[in-house]
Chains A and B, each alone.
Chain A
Amino acid sequence: MNGLPIDPALAWGSLPALFDGLKVTVILTALPLLLGLALAFPICFARMSSRRWLALLAEAFVTFFRGAPLLILLYLVYYGLGQIEALREGPFWILFGSPFGCAIVALSLNHAAYMVEVLRGSLLAVPHGIVEASEALGITRRNIFIWVKMPLAIRYGLKAYQNEVVSFIKGTAIVSVVTITDLTAVANSIFEQTYDPFTPILCAAAFYWALVNLIRIGFGLWGRWLNRHNAEGVAADVLVPGRAAALRRTSDLGQVTP
């Protein structure tokens, strides 16, 4: 050994396997993010409904799936549901019979529960006056939601969403307990084969770090684009040179107020 905790040759040799694990991690992140978000919308509407029973039902969903540890949830879906004979013989067994399907279901439910609250908080943050102004213009409730409330809610909720996505990615590491070889599982198996704890685990950590930061940069750009309307976000003009020029032209004509 060369004094470094990392064995460069082993690291280099492990790259293909780690990339395969990364692929699984990305899929196990992307699919539940999409499914969970799609599920979160109707549950959020139910949670905000004036019908009490509907709101209570949605609240119960959130309380349960946010309260249940992801690991326990995964065990319940993977081992627990398999005990139900009707399910084993039904069409859904294609989904619940595979560890991958179970992981997707558990992760989606967990993500949906968190997203209901992120979504609800963001929608509640939209100023009432702006909604009233839309109503006074005769815009329908549906269009107000699509064109006024959601665009503003996305801006208010972006940071909370980013936090949720980042911690979610790291949370996917638990899928190895149901035999899925994601990034963490690959690193662990290399460790078990070589008895070198540092090289594979630190390499996996670097992969996670890169993935999380890629997402952070993506969110940063998205947020900057979304908040181009804020006066302090002058840098956003640089992204759209035409607009910056147009602004300079118009501000020559009119008085500019900070």
Chain B
Amino acid sequence: MTMQAPVPAAAGEPGRLAITISGLVKHYGSHRALGGIDLEVRRGERIVICGPSGSGKSTLIRCINALERHDGGSIVVNGIRLTADEGTVQDIRQEVGMVFQHFNLFPHLTAIENCMLAPQLNRGLTKARAEKLAMHYLERVHLTDQARKYPSRLSGGQQQRVAIARALCMEPRILLFDEPTSALDPEMVNEVLGVMEELAASGVTMLCVTHEMGFARRVADRCVFMDHGEIVESGDAASFFEAPESQRLRDFLAQILR
């Protein structure tokens, strides 16, 4: 169970793999942020990544859509190998949506305009079609009544749900979440997690960096624990929480579940 257990069902079936990461290395100057990560993600799999701050979990998912450029190893997303080539990066970003800790909505656009911008620019949708698409996904995050509001008039939870709808509007097959509830007031965490659970049930591939262990237990097919730029342990949610094998994970769980 320790050290990035390969997923048996995926072995020899590359068509069923959403993401293949092997030997991924990333340095910031002399600091080694990622020290040779191997991870395979099946289509439709829901993975929760946790670990202490500075363990490289955000860096890992940010490498997948090339917000950070990796120094070594390889990343293959839906059959596309990530290179420095601008076109390849764009191709991968069409497949992968991302939700950020601080929402990062466009402050000068309304909720619905936030959702419409990328489909209009990337896919050449007309305004009417983009609006219909945006409304569809705003409905999925239960925000149709807030569609014409600017982000500054929405609560943190509502802003994060708009950010989720904005990512969904590009209809990505993979969604990355980078601590989506860490910047929220406690009473707003559940409305965001609720939407994420509904998404998980829809079959989209999800990689989620979070410390919401209740969410991990309910949703994750697999939990991954990282420390010092390495995957220390990974496994299904039940064994991950009930029978952690490594001392480092036991210590970590003791810290956050206390």
Chain A interface residues toward B at CB < 8 A: 127, 129-130, 132-140, 143, 147-148, 151-152, 155, 226, 228-231, 243, 246-247, 250, 253-257
Contacts and interface: CB of A to CB of B under 8 A. Distances in A.
Interface residues of B, number: 37
A195 B163 CA distance: 69
Q: Which of B96, B106, B121 has the most CB of A within 10 A?
A: B121
A247 B148 contact: yes
A140 B90 contact: yes
Given A133-B105, A138-B122, A148-B117, 14 more contacts: A134-B118, A135-B67, A136-B67, A136-B96, A137-B97, A137-B118, A138-B90, A139-B121, A140-B121, A143-B121, A155-B108, A229-B152, A247-B148, A250-B145
B122 A139 contact: yes
B167 A137 contact: yes
Nearest to B147: A250
Interface of B: 65, 67, 90, 93-94, 96-98, 100, 102, 104-110, 117-118, 121-122, 145-155, 158, 163, 166-167, 170
B65 A136 contact: yes
A133 B148 contact: no
| Interface SS majority for chain A | helix
A136 B104 CA distance: 11
A255 B152 CA distance: 14
Given A132-B100, A231-B153, A138 B94 contact: yes
B74 to A, nearest CB: 20
Given A139-B118, A147-B117, A230 B152 contact: yes
B67 A132 contact: yes
A134 B90 CA distance: 12
B150 A147 contact: no
A138 B118 contact: yes
A256 B146 CA distance: 10
A137 B115 CA distance: 10
A137 B170 contact: yes
Nearest to A227: B108
Contacts of B67: 132, 135-136
Contacts of A133: 98, 100, 104-106, 163
Q: Which 10 A-B pairs have the closest CB atoms?
A: A133-B104, A138-B93, A229-B150, A137-B118, A136-B98, A253-B145, A257-B155, A129-B104, A231-B152, A254-B145
B118 A229 contact: no
Nearest to B101: A129
5 contacts: A133-B105, A136-B167, A137-B117, A151-B108, A257-B158
A243 B148 contact: yes
A246 B148 CA distance: 8
B97 A148 contact: no
A143 B97 CA distance: 18
B122 to A, nearest CB: 5
A229 B107 contact: yes
Contacts of A152: 107-108
B178 to A, nearest CB: 10
B30 to A, nearest CB: 22
Nearest to A148: B106
B116 to A, nearest CB: 11
Q: Which of B100, B108, B145, B166 has the most CB of A within 10 A?
A: B108
A130 B152 CA distance: 14
Contacts of B97: 136-137
Contact of A254 (B65, B94, B105, B146): B146
Contact of B170 (A138, A229, A255): A138
Nearest to A131: B104
A230 B153 CA distance: 8
A143 B121 CA distance: 7
